[in-house]
Structure 1
Amino acid sequence: MSYENLSKRVEAIERDLEQVKKDLQNIKELLTGPSFYTALNLPDHLRKTYSIAVMLGEAAADDVSLRTKRARAVESAYLNQLVIMGYLEKNKKGRKTYFKRKEQL
């Protein structure tokens, strides 16, 4: 294996490691923060969507649907329902809409 290929693989591993660190931090916040108790009050279908959205930090409907294995349109509807209920807030960036946990519930 050449030095260049090895260098590229190390960079890819470092990027993956940073993403894992972010995911672990989000999971820790989910399990210890108020959002954990908030999620307990939600119906099962919304709890799954809410938990994944909080774990990701900020996510679009397609990001959530990849993890729930449900259709993007279904996740979009659930995410918007959580916004209406006051659990999430949404922000548009270009054509995409991103959802994140509302800071104060």
Structure 2
Amino acid sequence: MSKARFDLLDKLIERYNAGDAEGYSAFFAKDGVEAMYRGADLRVGRDGVRDGNARTFADFPQNRAIVLERQAFGDYVTLHERVWRTPEGDPFEVMSIYSFDGDEKISRVEFVR
């Protein structure tokens, strides 16, 4: 199960780094959510994920992330990422905690920053 989820997240990060909001959002369940950890929902539904990330990619066309570490914990996968908005800007780190609808789609991701 972890391998399929790791593979899915590898493809997700690939689409993120390509600035492909449509391709990125395709990995989410129809009612998938991006949220801050134990906080407010940032983007709700596949369309919300797509539209929110399209704005981010338009504002930061050289935005990119690398995965520093990944772990599977039961039904969850965590990624420790380093993200740059611009090549010359300072990166920031984020821990993302993914929940899944089976192995097929992301149902929720919460960001710890």
TM-score, normalised by the number of residues in structure 1: 0.32
Name the larger-Rg structure: 1
Q: Which has the higher helix share?
A: 1
Instruction: Tell me: higher relative CO, structure 1 or 2? Use CA pairs within 8 A at least 6 residues apart.
Output: 2
